[in-house]
Each structure stands twice: as structure tokens, then as C-alpha cells.
Structure 1
Amino acid sequence: MQGLRKLFRPSWSSAVKLDDTTAVITGANTGIGKETAIDLSKRGAKVILACRDMEKAQAAVKEIIESSGNDNVCCMKLDLSDSKSIREFAEAINKNEPKLNLLINNAGVMVCPYGKTADGFEMQIGVNHLGHFLLTYLLIDLIKRSAPARIVTVSSMAHSWGSINLEDINSEKSYNKNKAYAQSKLANILFTRSLAKRLEGTGVTTYSLHPGVVQTDLWRHLSSPEQFFIKIAKPFTKNSVQGAQTTIYCAVEPSLEKESGGYYSDCAPANCSAAGKDDELAQKLWELSCQMLSITWE
């Protein structure tokens, strides 16, 4: 039934303008991040692309300006697998931007072979969760000063196959790339819930979402059988424009103004797994994240 309802649900659209607002989007040089940047630019926002590959980012900036007719688009270097890069990026934003109304934690790595970040974290939990956790922490004062503001974190329905291994969050004892990915996406949802509680009464709201099964570069690490399955499923998947809609919905939909901490899919509230609603687990993950990043964030 739910599938049928989704099929006949009218597609979401909104004429909300974002003049005089500033948005930072991580990993916005490709896929749904780039489509999100194009949409927000068309609405009049100043958009900062936070990207690891500056060559690709500069090409994306050009494309976004051409597509949106808004030349208030720029890119800055951000490598979420390196806390030094995250701190340098945040320092530059805090110094040069008078406000930050939208932080879109979009970048991610997916089912990659085992690897570690510059800080020694397993790559998927390191980039997808800890990198964005640190980035949000370093920008939170500016975001609060810019309220009303929103923090949108791209998760995935894959979170529902995940669990948080607090004893071995870096998968050092055993590594399964799919489980590590699912863990990192569950972490995104728990982070959003915890953050919402801490931001109550500040005018800053938070959202996590499943973009849909989107055809993106993230699939490059899938095995041959997985690639084959994806090819068969292609007619049922979304392109990047469709995949960006729920991110955009969470960023601009006026009816969400008083909502915070929730999980969304297909431009509507959605159910996350039981683990995704576990506030005790969320608190433990928050404390562990602070400890791993050597920060204090009450």
C-alpha cells in the first residue's frame, strides 16, 4: 500500500525564496549535492560548495551559476576525512561569513574497501558521521546567530540494517563494508535526534533523510553482482534531480519550521528503525564522538 501511495503522491514543489540566506553544502560538486546547490541558488541563496576536489568543485560552480543565473556561488576546500581540513574550513567560514542559515551535510563515502581517515577513524564512520559532527560543532555558534536556521544531514534507508558498535566503532576487529556503511548512516539519524534536543529554543532545527535509491558515483565500490542488480533495478531508481528533492524539502519547506530531529523520505516524514529512535544509544554515540574528536559539546 505504502508503495502505491508513494507512486500517486503528487511531487513536492515550493516557491520559497532564499534571498539573503547563506548555505554550505558538503560534497556538492556532483550528484544530489550539486542538484541541491542548483536549486538553492535558483531560490536566491548564496551557496558555498564544500568539496575535497577543487578542480571538480570549480567546474561545478561554473555549471551552477549557468544553470541558476545566480553568481553568488563559490567553492572552498573541505576534506571530511581530515580534522585539520575541517577546522581550517570552519575557521574561514566563521571569519568571512556574517551568517550561515543552512548547513547541508551531504557528502559521503559508501561501501568502500577498509581504509582510515587522517585521524585514524574507519573511513565510512569517519567521513559520514564524525567529519560532519565536527563540522557542525565548529559552525554551530554562527548557525545559532543566524536563526532561523536548519541543519540537514543526508542519511539512507540503509541505516535500518545497521547497528552502532560502541566497542569497535572503527571496525578494527572485523570489517564488513556494508555494515560499516549502515552504521554510519544510523549515526547520522542519531546525531540529528541528539542535536535537535540540544538546539531546542534556539531557532535552529535539524533533519535527516533518505534521498531514495539514487544513481550516483557512490556506487563505484559495489561488487559485480551488486552492480548487475543495480542495472536491473535502474528503472525504479531516482536520478540526481529526483534524489535531491527530500534534501531541498527539509531545507526550505515552511511547514517544517517547528519540526526538529525527524527523519524524512520522499518529501514526507518517514519511519526510521527502532535503533534510530533509541535516545540512550544516541547519547552514548554523542559522548563517544566527542571523545574521539577531543571536543566538549554538552
Structure 2
Amino acid sequence: MSTSPATGGRWTAADMPDQTGRTAVVTGANSGLGFETCRALAARNATVIMAVRDLGKGRAALASLRTQGSGRLEVARLDLADLDSVRAFANGLIERGKPLDLLVNNAGIGMPPRTLTAQGFESQFGVNHLGHFALTGLLLPLLRRGSGARVVTVGSGAFRGGSIHFDDLHGERSYRPAARYRQSKLANVLFGLELDRRLRTDGMPVASLLAHPGLALRLGNKLVAQPAERGAWSQLYAATARDVEGGQFFGPGGRTGMRGHPILLEPGPRATDPETARRLWAVSTELTGVGYEFSDARLT
């Protein structure tokens, strides 16, 4: 079942509330959905930290946004395929000591040949899920100090066909790119919902939400796909709309679910299984070495 947001299902980035005084981190910020998310947030006066793997491309994206009149932007290096880079990025923000109001876990890779991250994880699971799991945990102390802080994890409708291969997480015995992509996207949804459950249990004033863009491509069938600018609407809605709650999942409301204005979605039983979520959390903590600082000892 899916329902329209309070706006009647016609929400666009033009409906975003003012973001003055809020600081956001957006991963995968130099192109596509991340670039459009940065542009929209900056246009509403947020301070935006553009987290990018390639600093050259990041600086070019920053320059482009500034020529469009967007201010309050900066760029920093973050390679989600290397946990050392994730820690360095997080430490840089922690050393600054400023609260963080929004983290958009947007970056991702899709269906490459089997490759490994710096720590030896299958790259799609490592980048799309483990890198963001580690980043969120490391930045949680800053989010705790933010004002109405939110974590928005960007998934894909492909999660519905995914399974978590706990006996072969990194595709050593069997690797099919599409299946491993679906695994990583299911992990995104399981993580986002489990994070919200733990935040609520702990009483921490941080909300975890999910979004997916539908089919957002620069080139493609216009009857099916939509431009990245519109693909970003769902994550921008989750990030900024006043009528959202932690644990909600937004995606395009068109008939195919691939395009359209954001609506509230039901993740379904595969993504809401509590035992799978707890097991994934435990495995992710072990693999990344990142524990979350909850005051409730049962959650750590």
C-alpha cells in the first residue's frame, strides 16, 4: 500500500522549507541525484558539505553550483570503498565540532564485475551499505547535537527482489552483479528501518528515513525514466518536509513506480523482518568495526 504525502502527491523541490542554519552532508555529491540534492538544499540556504570520491570532479561540481548562485557549499573527499577514508572524513567533521542536521546517504554503485573494497568486501555491498553504515555511526554524535536531525538513506526499488546472503556476503562462491546489487539495496532498507527502531528506543532526537528515486537517468526512455532533478524529489522530501516521521520510506508515485512525485511507500515483509535486520546490524558492526553510541546499552 502507498499513500500521498500531505501535499496531495504533487510535491516538488520548490515546496522545500527554508533550510537556513542547517548543515547537511550529501554523499556522491558531484553528479546525478547527489548533485541535484546539493543544489536544492543550497538554494534553500542550507550549508552543504559535498562528499565525493574524486576531488577534481567534486570541485568542478562545486564551481558549477556556484555559477548558478548557490552558496554555502564546500567539498570534501570521501571514498566509501575504503573505511580508512570514511574515518578520515568523519574525523574531519568531528574536529570542527559543529552539529550536523542532515546526512543523505546517496552514493552508490551498480552492477560492476566482481571487485573488492580496500578492506576486501564485495564492492556493491561494501560501498552501498557498509560504507554508509560506518559513516552514519561515526557521525551520530554530531547528528545527536543537530536540530531535528535526519538520516536519509537512498535505496532502489530493486530491494524488493533482494536477499541477504549471510553465508556468502561477498560473492566468493557465487557472483551475479544484479543479485548483488539487489542485496545491497535490501541492506539499505533494512539498515534505515533498524536504525530508526534503535534511535526511537534510545530516545535520541534523530530520525532515520528512506527514499528511492525510481528510474532517474540522464538518458533513457522519457516515458519510463525521469531526470535526476526529479529523481531527487523523494530524498529531498524525506530530508526536509515538515510532515515526515522516522521510519518512513518515500518513492515516486507514478503508475510504474519509476517516476513522479514522492509518495509514502510500504517496504513489505522482506525489508521489515526484525531478525534479518538485527543479524545484518551485528555483521555490519563486526565488518566495519564501527559501533553506535547509544545510551541504552542493549542497543550497542
TM-score for both structures, normalised by structure 2 = 0.88
- Counterpart for residue 283 of structure 1: 278
Are 2:137 and 2:291, in contact at CA under 8 Å, matched by a contact in 1?
no
Are 1:124 and 1:181, in contact at CA under 8 Å, matched by a contact in 2?
yes
Structure 2 unaligned residues grouped into runs of 5+ = 3-7, 253-261, 293-299
- Counterpart for residue 31 of structure 2: 30
Structure 1 unaligned residues grouped into runs of 5+ = 3-7, 217-229
1:83 paired with 2:80, answer no
**Alignment of structure 1 residues 1-298 onto 2, 5 Å:** 9-12=9-12, 13-67=14-68, 69-200=69-200, 201-215=203-217, 231=220, 233-256=221-244, 259-266=245-252, 267-297=262-292, 298=300
Q: Deviations over 1:130-151 (max 9, x none)?
A: 0000000100011001131000
Are 2:101 and 2:147, in contact at CA under 8 Å, matched by a contact in 1?
yes
Q: CA deviation at 1:295?
A: 3.1
- AA at the equivalent of 1:206: S
Pair 1:165–1:15, CA change in 2 (3 A)? closer
Distance in 2 of aligned mates of 1:27 and 1:90: 15
- AA at the equivalent of 1:78: L
Pair 1:240–1:106, CA change in 2 (3 A)? same
Q: CA deviation at 1:22?
A: 0.5
Are 1:192 and 1:262, in contact at CA under 8 Å, matched by a contact in 2?
no
Which has the higher mean CA deviation after the structures are superposed, 58-67 or 119-128? 58-67
Q: Deviations over 1:18-45 (max 9, x none)?
A: 1011000000100010000000000000
**RMSD of the alignment, in Å?**
1.7
Distance in 2 of aligned mates of 1:285 and 1:166: 8
Pair 1:134–1:15, CA change in 2 (3 A)? closer
Q: CA deviation at 1:15?
A: 4.2
State the identity as a percent.
38
Pair 1:15–1:129, CA change in 2 (3 A)? closer
Distance in 1 of aligned mates of 2:249 and 2:111: 22
TM-score for both structures, normalised by structure 1 = 0.89
Bigger helix share: 1
- AA at the equivalent of 1:215: L
- AA at the equivalent of 2:212: H
